[in-house]
Structure 1
Amino acid sequence: MGRVILHYDMDAFFASVEIRDNKKLKNKPLVVGESIVTTASYSARKYGIHSAMSTAEAKRLCPNLLVLPCNKEKYALESARIHSLVEKITDKVEYIAFDEGFLDITEIIENYSSKEYFAQKFKKRIFEITGLTCSVGIGYNKLTAKIASDYNKPDGFYIFNSPKDFMEHIRDKNIKIIPGVGKKFIPVLEKKGIFKVEDIYKFSLQELISLFGVSRGSLLYYYSRGLDDRPVKKERKTVSIGNENTYRNSLQTEEELIREYTNIFEKTYKRLKEKNFLCSVVGIKIKYKDFTSITRSKQLSFPMDNKNDLFETTAALMEKIQIKDGIRLVGISFSHLVKKDTFKTQLSFKF
């Protein structure tokens, strides 16, 4: 029997907690955040509002938008309740954030009548305990479980049982559905005639590596075919490398921000290479002149030290940052590190 992996993603988590605690907010467009949107309710998303957008811009899109302060202690408590429930099911859990995680249910799924039943029971139990909905994906690895959980959001579930099943569903989708394909990479792919997932299939692995490098080429080849051998493992210790700068004169323009985060990236990347680490998560930190701050992070498809890929991920996170009235601190971090000489690449798939 192959692996069975579940991915859960709480629906608009912060906003949903606030709506649950105040029924008058139901069906109203609202965001959680002060100067920057942290989470937007689904009613707000209909107006084009999304996370990392300034609340001022969000209000221009929706004048009657409600803006609620971020209560991190309440959300952390709610997350802990969810984690407690999840860990009663299995100890093979990997949390990605407050509101999502992977479960390896290979050894327990046979105790249930079907994967569909397990997904429904999981969602129902989460709702009974928290009053919150989640979207669930079940696949035969982390990649397929993650993509499945995005299919029927919010409050839905989807299941992939095999690579054949996965490829039939994904082949006509836009290439951006592949994790690791960002908006800067898309034009590069389109120049080679790759617009949909099925366009990848005409290239061999070696051709993709030749065109896009080992990391990107391998990712495109294997992920388009639903192949991913990464294990689900609970992190006992988070190791990170980071640098940040505080400015006496706040950054006022996009050009200044780009200049500064480029310099900070170079310092951080140099430390990564010196310590012989591979990075799995890229994070940024921004503090504004009014002392409000935001953090953003992106989990990579697999541990890497490719400078171009890491910088592109950093730049993609920074592109969503609003300058506002000035930025007084910029930080970049690489976390979930593994030693390069002890890491065995997981790209030896068979298909």
Structure 2
Amino acid sequence: MNRIIMHYDMDAFYASIEMRDNKKYLNKPIVVAGGVVTTANYEARKFGVHSAMTTTEAKKLCPKLIVVPVNKDKYLEESKIIQELVLKITHKAEFIALDEGFLDITHIVHKFSSKEAFGNIFRKRIFEITGLSCSVGIGINKLTAKIASDIHKPGGQYIFNSEEEFIEFIRHKKIRKLPGVGVKFEQLLTKNNIFLVDDIFKFSLKELTSKYGTSRGELLYTYSRGIDFREIDFSRSTHSIGNENTFRIPIDSEIEISREIEDLFNWSYTRLIRKQMLTKTLTLKIRFQDRETITRSKTRSTPTDNKEILKGMLDEIFTSVEFKKDVKLLGVSFGNLESRSNRQLSFEKLY
């Protein structure tokens, strides 16, 4: 079966979060920066402002530029929300940064009317939950998905269904369009009259590796043809198991809040058992309508999967929280995980 890979990329992630939370920044050029720009919104990019530029340089290009200090904790929190949403769709996911990741959707996309419909629903759901836009690319591998996600930025999507479609798109683009071709490599290639991706096709793999070395030669040959065998790295150990629910209409009844938390607990506990994991830590997350977010955790000395014990921990946390404001989001998760089989093995070694 041919693979179907999706790449999502949040649009101007840090800057978009700041604009969402501070309406005074809307339609104005802003950057999130310390001494160096980490993210520029699209209004600032029109002036040539980009990441890795010093704020002094950026202000020369755009005198009315607004510089917003970096709030990494806030951006990390938003990233977790997005990643948890992705993991509800599939665990065949690889997060390569706070604001982007790959999904292997080969075995789930058939549940939707088309690849286009899947991408549309994904982008819509991200926006509904976070108020942020993302761009999506769907392709036959990581390479094609990554390049596709950049074509209709911001907020759009593009799909490559075959190597032929990709080649037709990429062949007339500048050679720098290929991932892995940096400034210095581009300069070397242009000295040899290689300006466009199309210029690569006249060379064999042997000629390219002989001229530019095995690694760079293979990169030019394979990437120009849409060939990429890299797998989605979803084998990383699970750090937590849980679930969140964002409410379109905030809830204010303590009875309703309690019922939602119990549902989240049961859903998360089912996943814990299914994955044959034990846990030491239970965490309750609450986001109020004004976006204030609090987390409360309780940790025991030994791991367990006993439902009564874990529910007792949750009840202790719940009674310690004051619900004076409407609730927009609730989440229950288990952390400090340990495989039940590993735990059993450690006991067996004692005998």
Instruction: State how far apart, in whole Å, the 2-side matches of 1:167 and 1:52 are.
Output: 31
Instruction: State how far apart, in whole Å, the 1-side matches of 2:8 and 2:195 are.
Output: 28
What is the match of residue 183 of structure 2? 183
Which protein has the larger Cα radius of gyration, Structure 1 or Structure 2? 2
What is the match of residue 223 of structure 1? 223
What is the match of residue 112 of structure 1? 112
Instruction: State how far apart, in whole Å, the 1-side matches of 2:93 and 2:169 are.
Output: 27
TM-score of the two chains, using structure 2 as the length reference: 0.67
What is the match of residue 200 of structure 1? 200
What is the match of residue 61 of structure 1? 61
What is the match of residue 233 of structure 1? 233
- Deviation of 1:103 after TM superposition, in Å, equals 0.2
What is the match of residue 76 of structure 1? 76
Instruction: State how far apart, in whole Å, the 1-side matches of 2:68 and 2:24 are.
Output: 13
Instruction: State how far apart, in whole Å, the 2-side matches of 1:9 and 1:155 are.
Output: 9
Instruction: State how far apart, in whole Å, the 2-side matches of 1:190 and 1:62 are.
Output: 32
| Counterpart residue type for residue 131 of structure 1 | G
Instruction: State how far apart, in whole Å, the 1-side matches of 2:126 and 2:154 are.
Output: 14
Instruction: State how far apart, in whole Å, the 2-side matches of 1:11 and 1:76 are.
Output: 15
- 3-state DSSP class of the match of 1:124? helix
| Counterpart residue type for residue 81 of structure 1 | I
Instruction: State how far apart, in whole Å, the 2-side matches of 1:181 and 1:103 are.
Output: 24
Q: Deviations over 1:188-217 (max 9, x none)?
A: 111222110110000000000111000000
Instruction: State how far apart, in whole Å, the 2-side matches of 1:54 and 1:204 are.
Output: 42
What is the match of residue 145 of structure 2? 145
Instruction: State how far apart, in whole Å, the 1-side matches of 2:18 and 2:57 are.
Output: 22
- 3-state DSSP class of the match of 1:20? helix
What is the match of residue 319 of structure 2? none
Check if 1:34 corresponds to 2:52.
no
Instruction: State how far apart, in whole Å, the 2-side matches of 1:123 and 1:11 are.
Output: 11
Greater RCO (CA < 8 Å, at least 6 residues apart)? 1
- 3-state DSSP class of the match of 1:219? helix
What is the match of residue 134 of structure 1? 134
Instruction: State how far apart, in whole Å, the 2-side matches of 1:236 and 1:142 are.
Output: 18
Q: Which moved more, 1:190-199 or 1:72-81?
A: 190-199
Moved over 2 A (4+): 234-237
Q: Deviations over 1:271-312 (max 9, x none)?
A: xxxxxxxxxxxxxxxxxxxxxxxxxxxxxxxxxxxxxxxxxx
Instruction: State how far apart, in whole Å, the 2-side matches of 1:52 and 1:168 are.
Output: 32
- Deviation of 1:234 after TM superposition, in Å, equals 2.4
TM-score of the two chains, using structure 1 as the length reference: 0.67
The number of residue pairs the alignment matches comes to 237
Instruction: State how far apart, in whole Å, the 2-side matches of 1:124 and 1:74 are.
Output: 22
Check if 1:16 corresponds to 2:42.
no
Q: Deviations over 1:115-174 (max 9, x none)?
A: 001010100000000000000000000000000001011111000000111001111000
Instruction: State how far apart, in whole Å, the 1-side matches of 2:102 and 2:159 are.
Output: 14
- Deviation of 1:236 after TM superposition, in Å, equals 2.2
| Counterpart residue type for residue 137 of structure 1 | G
| Counterpart residue type for residue 215 of structure 1 | S
Instruction: State how far apart, in whole Å, the 1-side matches of 2:115 and 2:104 are.
Output: 13
What is the match of residue 309 of structure 2? none
Check if 1:86 corresponds to 2:119.
no
Q: Which moved more, 1:188-197 or 1:209-218?
A: 188-197
- Deviation of 1:235 after TM superposition, in Å, equals 5.5
- Deviation of 1:87 after TM superposition, in Å, equals 0.3
Instruction: State how far apart, in whole Å, the 2-side matches of 1:72 and 1:220 are.
Output: 36
Instruction: State how far apart, in whole Å, the 1-side matches of 2:111 and 2:143 are.
Output: 24
Identify unmatched segments of 5+ residues in structure 1. 238-351
- 3-state DSSP class of the match of 1:87? helix
- 3-state DSSP class of the match of 2:193? coil
Q: Deviations over 1:34-86 (max 9, x none)?
A: 21111001000111101111111111111111001100110000000000100
Instruction: State how far apart, in whole Å, the 1-side matches of 2:45 and 2:192 are.
Output: 33
What is the match of residue 246 of structure 2? none
What is the RMSD computed on CA atoms of the aligned residues? 0.9
| Counterpart residue type for residue 89 of structure 1 | I
- 3-state DSSP class of the match of 2:19? helix
Q: Percent identity?
A: 63
What is the match of residue 2 of structure 2? 2
Q: Deviations over 1:69-110 (max 9, x none)?
A: 100110000000000100000000011100000000001011
Identify unmatched segments of 5+ residues in structure 2. 238-351
Instruction: State how far apart, in whole Å, the 2-side matches of 1:219 and 1:139 are.
Output: 18
**Which structure 2 residues correspond to residues 206-285 of structure 1 after superposition, within 5 A?**
206-234=206-234, 236=236
What is the match of residue 277 of structure 2? none
What is the match of residue 103 of structure 1? 103
